[in-house]
Amino acid sequence: MSVDHLNELLLVCALVLLIAVAAVRVSSRSGLPSLLIYLGIGVAIGQDGIGVEFSDARLTQVIGYAALVVILAEGGLGTKWREIRPALPTAAVLSTVGVATSVGITATAAHYLVGLDWRQALIIGAVVSSTDAAAVFSVLRKVPLPARLTGVLEAESGFNDAPVVILVVAFSVAGPVDHWYLLLGEIALELTIGAAIGLAVGWLGSYGLRHVALPASGLYPIAVMAIAVVAYAAGALAHGSGFLAVYLAALVLGNAKLPHWPATKGFAEGLGWIAQIGMFVLLGLLVTPHELGDDIWPAVIVGLVLTVVARPVSVFVSTAPFRTSWQEKTLLSWAGLRGAVPIVLATIPVVAEVPDSRRLFNIVFVLVIVYTLIQGPTLPWLARRLRIGAPDTAADLGIESAPLERLRGHLLSVSIPDASRMHGVEVGELRLPAGAAVTLVVRDKKSFVPQPSTVLRRGDELLVVATDPVRDATERRLRAIGRGGKLAGWLGTGGEHNRS
């Protein structure tokens, strides 16, 4: 590649990114899922549009895997442990027993209703049985669901990629497995290795970032994402599940109260958007629209069975041991969103040169488009019809921490959002632990040193200095007041209370 080619490539990529960013605005206004717009951009650039020819399934698979690593890392960083902890048993069963149930039902339908042979039917059943992390995280940002349901969906979408990838690879390389118990053992081993490595890398990384002050705040987001990628690579090289490893490592990092956390989260979200845009556009390039005509009805049939039979049965079977209302089961059934993950997984049989693998790819592509158009926009409506919504709660505080290594302390930057119950609380009523104090208040672009009688308001930004031993207690106390007001210690909203 010459410099001139590089210049042209950079120009095209920058223009595509700008169009995709503008498409997010269109998507949010119209309710149309953004992934469809990105796929449309890829199709428009492709050989049936502008005329760019691209057919490298292997390159698409590699880039898709890399994008999924970033998307899972961003999802794990944004997942709150207190929300998914009660949902872990349900999510674990959904991502194992639920996936197996869905694969079996979908594969049976693909064999008897569409006419695929058993190998192809099992492949397509495995490919489409994984919920898409990017789609789920995107929709959950718009649908105010109870924390328990949000936790189940987030954890399931983070967990179920791992067993599905193992199944698709196994079916693509060797066809149907004769000894199913060996396959189950392999899945269990890979998940165990991936989980162990992910938790270990996440803990070591968070410990290091909390105890070593980096010379620039911009290095923290880079370090966090690098640690997440290390977890994926280490898990994959150890013959474990790299996807599970990166999600768990990011989950640990995201709940470790790292320095400069808002900047880190914003950086991860930006990388996540870039990964989604690049992956969807590339997948749109790979497809050839004029070849899809014969595969539309097979895709509709397989998707219909998946959506109204396989997914609901897998949800009802998986949630049977847990206390889950029929309304919650119905919503979980409809919220099994598909997106880029199935399309990326559909490149595995293409690379492995499975017979009729291109047809499988086309079926999955059409299925994702059709049912994303149906499920994504209707999920908020269904939540309202089922009367499932998150109760009104106070907005959490935005707290950013910067380590003061030489002083063995921390500088906490606290933003008070509009819905915070810290509004109206006097500085003296914060009752921060000994060793912590509010040193500065920024209000209406003006800063001043507060008095104990200073009343805090919405939109204020506080600078709180805390010594190292009381840093965590200070943050817990501030968050508790943000949720429960000045009486947080007595109202049971959590946080440390100091009577002195």
DSSP of 300-326, one letter per residue? Answer: HHHHHHIIIIIHHHHHHHHTTTS---H
Tokens at residue 122, please? Answer: 């099992």
Other CB atoms closer than 10 Å to residue 320's CB: what's the count?
Answer: 11
Alpha-carbon span 186 to 166, nearest angstrom: 9
Averaged over 270-287, what is the pLDDT? 85
Residue 500 included in any domain:
no
Q: How far is CA 336 from CA 205, 329, 371, 456, in A?
A: 32, 11, 10, 43
d(CA 364, CA 306): 12
Q: Are 196 and 294 in a shared domain?
A: yes
Please give the share of the chain, as a percent, with pLDDT higher than 70: 87
Please give the helix or strand (H or E) that residue 500 lies within, else none: none
CA dist 238 and 195 (Å) reads 12
Last residue of a domain, one of 325, 355, 385: 385
For residue 171, what is the domain's CATH number?
1.20.1530.20
pLDDT tens-digit map of 116-155: 988 889 999 999 988 876 667 666 666 667 777 878 887 8
Q: How far apart are CA 158 and CA 233, in angstroms?
A: 17
> Looking at the structure, do residues 15 and 153 belong to the same domain, yes or no?
no
Residue pointed to by tokens 């599940």:
241
Is 81 within 8 Å of 251 (Cβ atoms)? Answer: yes
> Chain-wide mean pLDDT for the chain?
83
Residue with tokens 């924390």: 147
| Residues 320, 352 within the same domain | yes
CA–CA distance, 193 with 185 (Å, rounded to integer)? 12
Tell me the whole-structure pTM to 2 decimals. 0.75
**Amino acid of residue 429:** E
Asked if residue 93 is part of any domain, the answer here is yes
**Residues 1, 87 within the same domain:** no
Distances (CA, A) of 193 to 26, 184, 248: 42, 14, 12
What is the mean pLDDT of the segment spanning 29-45? 74
Cβ atoms of 63 and 282 closer than 8 Å: yes
pLDDT, tens digit, for every residue of 61-118? Answer: 888 889 889 988 988 888 888 878 888 888 889 988 899 999 999 999 999 999 898 8
294, 262: one domain: yes
Is the confidence at residue 31, as pLDDT, over 80? no
DSSP readout, 464-480?
A: EEEEGGGHHHHHHHHHH
Which pLDDT score is estimated for 292?
A: 83
392 pLDDT above the threshold of 70: no
CB atoms near residue 28 (< 10 Å): 11
Q: For 212-216, 307-311, 360-364, which range has the lowest pLDDT when averaged over its residues?
A: 212-216
Q: Dihedrals φ, ψ of 354, to 5°?
A: -70, 140
- pLDDT score recorded for residue 387: 81
Mean per-residue pLDDT for 207-211? 86
Using the 3D structure, point to which of 354, 385, 416 is the last residue of a domain: 385
Average pLDDT on 213-239 reads 89
- Distance between CA 128 and CA 276 in Å, rounded? 18
Query: For 435-453, what is the mean pLDDT?
Result: 89
Verify that 23 and 100 share a domain, yes or no.
no
Residue 387: how many CB atoms within 10 A of its CB? 7
Identity of residue 377: P
The pLDDT score that the predictor gives to residue 496 is 42
Asked if residue 121 lies in contact with residue 111, where contact means CB atoms within 8 angstroms, the answer is yes
User: What is the pLDDT confidence band of residue 491, given thresholds at 50, 70 and 90?
Assistant: very low
Is 144 buried (19+), middle (13-18) or exposed (0-12) by CB count in 10 A? middle
Give me the pLDDT at residue 32, please. 60
Verify that 283 and 419 share a domain, yes or no: no
- 253 lies in some domain: yes
Residue 391 lies in a domain: no
Instruction: Looking at the structure, tell me whether residues 341 and 288 fall in a common domain.
Output: yes
**Domain match, 96 and 158 both:** yes
Q: What is the dihedral of CA 262, 264, 270, 274, to 10 degrees?
A: -160
Of the pLDDT bands very low, low, confident and very high (cuts 50, 70, 90), residue 495 is very low
Residue 390 lies in a domain: no
User: Among 127-136, 141-150, 339-348, 414-423, where is mean pLDDT lowest?
Assistant: 141-150
Domain count, the chain: 3
Q: Are 252 and 23 in contact (CB under 8 A)?
A: no
Q: Which of 84-88, 134-138, 456-460, 493-497 shows the lowest per-residue confidence on average (mean pLDDT)?
A: 493-497
Domain ranges, residue 484: 398-491
Residues 411 and 296 in one domain: no
Which domain CATH number covers 439? 3.30.70.1450
Decide which of 385, 419, 445 is a domain's last residue: 385
Q: What percent of the chain has pLDDT over 90?
A: 19
452 lies in the same domain as 372: no
Distance of CA 223 to the CA centre of its chain: 19
Average pLDDT of the residues in 233-243: 91
pLDDT of residue 172: 85
Confidence band (pLDDT; 50, 70, 90) for 229?
Answer: very high
> Do 48 and 150 fall within a single domain?
yes
Task: Please indicate, yes or no, if residue 152 is contained in any of the structural domains.
Answer: yes
The pLDDT score that the predictor gives to residue 245 is 93
Residue 498 lies in a domain: no
Q: Which two tokens stand for residue 142?
A: 């718009």
Amino acid at position 375, single letter: Q
Q: Assess whether pLDDT exceeds 80 at residue 230.
A: yes
- Say how far apart CA 360 and CA 161 lie, in whole Å: 19
Q: Domain for residue 479, yes or no?
A: yes
